[in-house]
Amino acid sequence: MSMRVVQPGMLSLLQDSGRQGQHRLGLSNGGPMDREAFHYCNRLLQNSPASTAIEISVGGLQLETLVDTYICLTGAPMPLSINGQDKPLWEVQRVCAGDSIQVGFARTGCRSYFGVADGFTIEARFGSTATVVRENIGGLQGRSLQAGDQLPCPTTNARKQYYLAARDRPRYQKTLTVRVIPGYQQGHFNRVEQRRFFGSTYTISERCDRMGYRLEGPAITCDIEGVLSEGICFGAIQLPPDGQPIVLLNDRQTIGGYPKIGAALSLDAARMTQLVPGSSVHFAPITHHTARKALELARRFTLCKPLQERR
């Protein structure tokens, strides 16, 4: 009982909610880059929040289902078709053994999430199925999907066909304001450098991946060249010697020695992963209190929007 990969697309990875508590072993979190889209993929399918899905970057995935089940595609608008018939995103769809599923290429944004009822049945490694290619761990032998791969999933004959109304879906654009929580090293950046950082527009460079997004714009200098290697949180904004910011993401290294001006609010860092090279980013400082409030509001409202049922 499985789905067969006919074409893997540009980059398709099996991901659950992430590998937690393993930094002491040098293992990064992995997990979905866009947690909101991943969350809704599983929520629409009535799966557990950590169920394994496929993160599709750019698009081009093609599958053949060998089992009767239900599927859902959320995230960046990549055209979805079943047996050549167009189907809506953000909505649960019924598929039967022998059906062909095709995911086109993103029009805006760059990542979507493909899930099945009850999730793909993948063996966990260090507590998670999340694929981190750099560490050769998770998913299928720690690699991206390839043509011919079999993705185990159970037969499911009963699921409510929920959908998320268009007005409630996120909109992926080419500009983003990223809220930044200042870190303890911020004092090593003088006021002029801080004003330059928070008052400038940066561009997503071609060197952006699951480890981090490198930005291009006004260089930021610091009164220290480096620090002793220390743990790095999700969203940490490093300033290497060239002064060009790097926002560290899911597959980041667990320690590093570049100075950090702060950390991007996790909500915004996740949304940033839908930006393609050439997109624009602005940074805005916020307090710890404001950050906690934003996270609580997202938990209560953004991630709990009512679902509709297709009759």
Residue-wise pLDDT for 87-142, tens only, equals: 999 999 999 999 999 999 998 999 999 999 999 999 999 999 999 999 999 999 99
Judged by DSSP in three states, 192 sits in: helix
- Same-domain check for residues 220 and 276: yes
90 belongs to a structural domain: yes
> Cα-flanking dihedrals φ and ψ of residue 187, to 5°?
-65, -15
What is the model's pTM? Answer: 0.95
- Same-domain check for residues 104 and 52: yes
309 belongs to a structural domain: no
**CA-CA distance, 169 to 57, in Å (whole number)?**
19
Residue 46: other Cβ atoms inside 10 A: 17
184 belongs to a structural domain: yes
Judged by DSSP in three states, 44 sits in: helix
**CA-CA distance, 247 to 238, in Å (whole number)?**
7
- Same-domain check for residues 9 and 142: yes
- Same-domain check for residues 225 and 130: no
307 belongs to a structural domain: no
Identify the band that residue 31 occupies on the pLDDT scale cut at 50, 70 and 90.
very high
User: What is the percent of the chain where pLDDT is above 70?
Assistant: 100
**CA-CA distance, 212 to 264, in Å (whole number)?**
12
Residue 49's domain comprises 2-165
**CA-CA distance, 269 to 236, in Å (whole number)?**
9
Interval 157-174: pLDDT, tens:
889 999 999 999 999 999
- Same-domain check for residues 231 and 203: yes
Report the b/e string of 125-155 with b at 16+ CB within 10 A.
beebbbbbbebebbbbeeebbeeebebebee
8 Å CB contact between 80 and 19: no
- Check residue 158 and give its pLDDT: 87
